[in-house]
Each structure stands twice: as C-alpha cells, then as structure tokens.
Amino acid sequence: MKHPNQATLALHAGGDLGFFAGWRTARHVARCETCRDEIAAFEGVREMLPELSEIPEIQWNRLAAEMKANIRLGLAAGECVRTSERAPRAARLFTGARAAVALASIVVMVATGILLQNTTPARADQRTVVQSTADGIQVGTGDQAFRLMNTGVNANDVTLSVGAQGSMGARYVDPKTGYVTINNVYAE
C-alpha cells in the first residue's frame, strides 16, 4: 500500500486539499492506522499555533511593523541612489502593430529590390553588340550606340583587335600629330 507524503497529510489535516486529492487521501486514511496517527499529530500542532502568538516575550505585531518600515526605507534609499538609466521595458519589442509595420517594411524592401534589379527587361533584339564600322569601332544595344571614330585615318592603317570576352580595340597613328591612339570598347 502506497502512503501519501507528509505534505499531503498536513494539507489534509488543515482541510486545504482539493476535492479529488482530499477524497483519495480520506479513503486511504480510513484504512491506514499510521496515516491517521500522522494526521492527528498535525491537527495537534494546528491547535498549538494560536497559543504561540500570545507569547509575551515576542511582540509579533511590533516586529512586523518594523520589518515593513525597513522595507519601505530600503526602497526609498534605492530610489535616491538609482542612476538615471531607464527601467527595463515590460513589453516585448515586436508586438501587435509594431510587428505588422516591421513585416510590411520588409515586404516593401524586397519588392523594391526585385523591381530595381531588372529595370529594363532584356528583349531578344536588345543584345549588346561590339563591332567595327568603316570609320571606327562601336558598342551598341538596340538602336543606341557608342562609337569611337578614327577620323582622318585610312582604314587600312587601323589595327583592330577582338577579345573573347566581348571587347574590341582599334590602334592607329594619327598622321597629323604623330600620336598613337588606342581605343577600346567592352560589352557587359
């Protein structure tokens, strides 16, 4: 037979157990002599407690009043020496409306990033092309181009070079000044 623990028996003696626990403990106590004696001892102690408050040597009410006064004094002293730092927040940082605003801001930032990443959609006819022309080299996209012209030079005197990464260069000696001109264009 399993006996209830001391705390359960003490609570049963004072009538402080809940309905189900009290019913189960009462059933056990009705059949167990040891637990009945234990409950009787707890009830005897409960009867002695009111007499303890009447001991003349200890003034419990005065002692309680002094303790309350000391606690109040300690709290007041703590307020005097407290630094100007703010008290910790009782509420969490992201609750309710704040969480909704934060989530909406993140969604707007992601959508803006997606839109700005590819501002002009690439079409098949808008590929970047690097090519040589009769009077220079150019890089172009669709109907727009950037051209570096070889003015005043015979086309046979221009040395063209083509790179595998989408670049083109033109080198020639200007007949009027004698300077070497090097032009390079890159497609990215």
pLDDT tens track for 126-144? 678 888 887 888 888 878 8
Query: When comparing pLDDT for 99 and 119, which is higher?
Result: 99
User: What's the average model confidence in pLDDT over 22-39?
Assistant: 92
Q: What token pair was written down for 80?
A: 């005097």
Confidence of residue 164 (pLDDT cuts 50, 70, 90): confident
Least confident interval from 5-9, 75-79, 93-97, 157-161 = 93-97
The type of residue at 155 is A
Q: Taking the CB of residue 153, how many other CB atoms lie within 10 A of it?
A: 18
Percent of residues, the chain, with pLDDT higher than 90: 14
Q: What token pair was written down for 109?
A: 């930032």
Least confident interval from 12-16, 85-89, 127-131 = 85-89
Rounded CA gap, 25 and 7, in Å? 12
Task: Name 7's Cβ contacts closer than 8 Å, sequence gap at least 6.
Answer: none
Rounded CA gap, 32 and 27, in Å? 9
DSSP for 130-163?
EEEETTEEEEEETTEEEEEE-TTS-GGGPEEEEE
What's residue 84's pLDDT?
62
Q: What token pair was written down for 167?
A: 């670049």
CA angle in degrees (0–180, nearest 5) for 86-92-98: 110
User: What's the average model confidence in pLDDT over 102-118?
Assistant: 88
pTM, to two decimals: 0.31
Instruction: State the chain's mean pLDDT as an integer.
Output: 82
pLDDT at 54 over 80: no
What's residue 28's pLDDT?
93
